[in-house]
């Protein structure tokens, strides 16, 4: 009998546990470190802010997790988000017509539905190219990377789409619980009669964005872990030939994967207008797709496919997000963030090479 690394690791479950969850341990370590070095880092307000600002990255990373498990890559997520954001903005702007047109609720509702349907298209195109025409995922999604960005810029003519209903940011940046000791408690908004000027006196807990992202993550986690869809995703990444021989319709499944990824990017675009109140195109330097890939790899996935977890990818996002926030609060110049992310990526890949059997 030969001894594989896994057998050795089975004798040492602690080491295996640490190797599998190193990113979580790093995150914990950084949280402790920054609590000492950064004034105001360790506070509910700061943590909620970091989480709120990380929502888009979390969505991107979970979309990318599915794609990377099949040993693909989706470079278009960042610009699909921008496309979704400006298109939704434009539709809502036209329908709402600065208060002259339809009610905010109906305008927003129609905008969301249309854009979520449209956001399936880029993924459908890349998926068909990849699955049926054997175009490498890198190239197919790079095509959609350019096309969606071009369409987004055409729609908004290079400027963010503004004059949208206030309801957007009220919901997008709102909280579940507003609480002031001795005065009162209310949900989804300040108590009636309390003006917006005294909002800082209230303790605000659980941003609405957390509820939104938690629901999305729950669905995606369930999909990947507990369903046939998830099993087939892992099988295709592990051994595509085996998946074919097991009777799985691999082509169809790959198309679904890229459509799902694109849909989640569309969801991120919708969230984006709720967060900022305007329809934003994605700036070229944003590199959402690369940070998403970085987070997924740091979270334990392998670009070779077959490996990856939603939970791991979320840890990867938070590791990057808290690094940025912690370095900033500690007074370190922001560009160290890139160095830190680079180092983490290298650690992730080395760990993947040393412990290929960890899943």
Partner 1 sequence: MDYLVETKNITKRFGGLTAVNKVSFGVEAGEIVAVLGDNGAGKSTLIKMISGVHQPDGGQIFFQGKEVDIHSPMDALSMGIETIYQDLALAENMNVYSNIFLGREKTKKAWGIFDVLDSQYMYDESLGVLDKLNIKIPSLRNNVRTLSGGQRQAVAISRSIYWNAKFLIMDEPTAALGVAQQHLVLDLVKSLKDHGLGIIIISHQMHDVFAVADRLIVMRRGEKVGDLKKEETNPDEVVNLIVGSESVV
Q: Which segment (17-25, 44-52, 228-236, 330-338) binds partner 1 by CB under 8 A?
A: 228-236
Identify the CA nearest to 153 among candidates 344, 284, 334, 337: 284
Please state, in angstroms and as integers, the Cα–Cα distance from residue 113 to each residue in 108, 142, 173, 217, following that order. 9, 26, 21, 20
Q: Which segment (106-114, 131-139, 235-243, 337-345) binds partner 1 by CB under 8 A?
A: 235-243
Question: Given the structure tokens 């926030």, which residue do they identify?
Answer: 325
**CB 126 within 8 Å of CB 140:** yes
**Beta sheet of 175-180, edge-to-edge order:** 184-187, 175-180, 203-207
Positive or negative, the Cα torsion across 303, 343, 146, 78? positive
Cβ proximity to partner 1: between 157 and 245 the closer is: 245
**CB 129 within 8 Å of CB 140:** yes
Is 353 near partner 1 (CB under 8 A)?
no
Q: In the complex, what is the shortest distance from the CB of residue 16 to partner 1, in angstroms, rounded to a whole number? A: 12
Cβ proximity to partner 1: between 132 and 222 the closer is: 222
**CB 182 within 8 Å of CB 201:** no
**CB 112 within 8 Å of CB 90:** no
Is 234 near partner 1 (CB under 8 A)?
yes
Q: In the complex, what is the shortest distance from the CB of residue 345 to partner 1, in angstroms, rounded to a whole number? A: 21
Q: In the complex, what is the shortest distance from the CB of residue 299 to partner 1, in angstroms, rounded to a whole number? A: 16
Is 241 near partner 1 (CB under 8 A)?
yes
Positive or negative, the Cα torsion across 51, 54, 55, 61? negative
Q: In the complex, what is the shortest distance from the CB of residue 156 to partner 1, in angstroms, rounded to a whole number? A: 39
Is 4 near partner 1 (CB under 8 A)?
yes
Is 49 near partner 1 (CB under 8 A)?
no
Is 201 near partner 1 (CB under 8 A)?
no
Count the site residues for partner 1 by CB under 8 A.
29
- Could you give the CA distance from residue 21 to residue 27 in angstroms, rounded to a whole number? 10
Is 71 near partner 1 (CB under 8 A)?
no
Is 2 near partner 1 (CB under 8 A)?
yes
Q: In the complex, what is the shortest distance from the CB of residue 358 to partner 1, in angstroms, rounded to a whole number? A: 10
Cβ proximity to partner 1: between 141 and 302 the closer is: 302
Cβ proximity to partner 1: between 160 and 356 the closer is: 356
- Could you give the CA distance from residue 320 to residue 152 in angstroms, rounded to a whole number? 28
Q: In the complex, what is the shortest distance from the CB of residue 239 to partner 1, in angstroms, rounded to a whole number? A: 5
Helix (H) or strand (E) holding 207: strand 203-207
Choosing from 7, 166, 183, 201, the residue that interacts with partner 1 (CB under 8 A) is: 7
Give the footprint of partner 1 on residues 280-309 (CB under 8 A). 306-307
Choosing from 78, 165, 237, 279, the residue that interacts with partner 1 (CB under 8 A) is: 237
Helix (H) or strand (E) holding 298: helix 288-298
- Could you give the CA distance from residue 262 to residue 118 in angstroms, rounded to a whole number? 10
Angle 141-145-148 (CA atoms, 0-180°, nearest 5)?
Answer: 120
Is 231 near partner 1 (CB under 8 A)?
yes
Is 227 near partner 1 (CB under 8 A)?
yes
Binding site for partner 1 (CB under 8 A): 1-2, 4, 6-7, 222, 226-228, 230-232, 234-235, 237-239, 241-243, 245-248, 306-307, 356-357, 359
């Amino acid at each position: 009998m030969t001894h594989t690394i896994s057998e050795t690791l089975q004798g040492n479950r602690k080491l295996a546990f640490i190797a599998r969850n190193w990113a979580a341990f790093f995150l914990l370590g950084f949280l402790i470190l920054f609590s000492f070095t950064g004034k105001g880092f360790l506070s509910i307000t700061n943590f909620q802010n970091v989480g709120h600002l990380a929502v888009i990255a979390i969505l991107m990373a979970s979309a990318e997790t599915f794609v990377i498990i099949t040993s693909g890559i989706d470079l278009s997520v960042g610009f699909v988000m921008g496309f979704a954001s400006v298109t939704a903005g434009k539709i809502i702007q036209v329908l709402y017509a600065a208060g002259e047109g339809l009610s905010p609720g109906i305008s927003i509702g129609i905008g969301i539905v249309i854009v979520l349907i449209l956001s399936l298209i880029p993924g459908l195109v890349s998926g068909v190219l990849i699955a049926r025409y054997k175009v490498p995922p890198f190239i197919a999604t790079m095509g959609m990377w350019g096309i969606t960005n071009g369409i987004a810029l055409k729609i908004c003519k290079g400027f963010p789409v503004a004059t949208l209903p206030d309801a957007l940011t009220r919901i997008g940046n709102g909280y579940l619980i507003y609480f002031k000791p001795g005065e009162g408690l209310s949900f989804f908004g300040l108590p009636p009669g309390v003006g917006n000027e005294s909002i800082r006196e209230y303790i605000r807990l659980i941003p609405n964005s957390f509820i939104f992202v938690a629901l999305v993550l729950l669905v995606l986690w369930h999909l990947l872990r507990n369903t046939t869809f998830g099993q087939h995703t892992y099988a295709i990444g592990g051994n595509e030939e085996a998946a074919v021989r097991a009777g799985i319709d691999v082509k169809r499944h790959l198309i679904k994967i890229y459509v799902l990824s694109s849909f989640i990017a569309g969801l991120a675009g919708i969230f984006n207008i709720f967060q900022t109140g305007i329809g934003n195109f994605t700036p070229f330097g944003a590199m959402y797709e690369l940070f998403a890939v970085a987070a997924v790899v740091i979270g334990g996935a392998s670009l070779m496919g077959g490996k990856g977890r939603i939970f791991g990818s979320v840890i990867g996002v938070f590791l990057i997000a808290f690094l940025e926030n912690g370095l900033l609060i500690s007074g370190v110049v922001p560009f160290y963030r890139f160095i830190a992310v680079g180092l983490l990526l290298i650690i992730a890949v080395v760990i993947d090479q040393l412990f290929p059997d960890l899943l």
